[in-house]
Amino acid sequence: MADLVEEAKKKASYAAIDEHVDSSTSVIGIGSGSTVVYCVERLAQRVKDPNSALKIKACVPTSFQSKQLIIEAGLLLADLNAHPVIDVTFDGADEIDESLNLIKGGGGCHLQEKLVAAASKKLVIVADYRKESNALGVQWTKGIPVEVIPMAYVSIQKKIESLGGTSKLRMAAPAKAGPVVTDSGNLILDVFMGILRGDAVLETHLKLIQIPGVVETGLFMDIAGWAYLGLQDGNVKRMANVTSQEKQWKSV
Cβ closest to ligand 5RP, residue 111 vs residue 159: 111
Selected from 87, 94, 95, 147, the binder of ligand 5RP by CB under 6 A is: 94
173: Cα within 13 Å, side-chain hemisphere: 4
Distances (CA, A) of 237 to 6, 205, 233: 16, 28, 11
By the 8 A CB rule, do 225 and 124 touch? yes
Cβ closest to ligand 5RP, residue 93 vs residue 144: 93
Determine the size of the site formed for ligand 5RP (CB under 6 A). 17
Min separation Cβ 172 and ligand 5RP, Å: 15
Cα(40)–Cα(211) distance, integer angstroms = 36
- Tell whether residue 230 is a contact of ligand 5RP (CB under 6 A): no
Packing angle between helix 2-20 and helix 36-48, nearest 10 degrees?
50
Binding segment toward ligand 5RP, per CB under 6 A, in 103-111, 115-123, 185-193, 232-240: 103-111
- Cα torsion 122, 95, 189, 40 to 10°: value is -50
**Active-site residue, from 95, 113, 132, 216:** 113
Q: Is position 7 annotated as part of the catalytic site?
A: no
125: Cα within 13 Å, side-chain hemisphere: 36
- Residue ranges in 22-41 that form contacts with ligand 5RP under rule CB under 6 A: 31-35
Cβ closest to ligand 5RP, residue 7 vs residue 26: 7
Selected from 29, 61, 108, 225, the binder of ligand 5RP by CB under 6 A is: 108
Selected from 29, 73, 100, 106, the binder of ligand 5RP by CB under 6 A is: 106
Phi–psi pair at 167, nearest 5 degrees? -150, 160
Residues near ligand 5RP (CB under 6 A): 31-35, 91-94, 104-110, 113
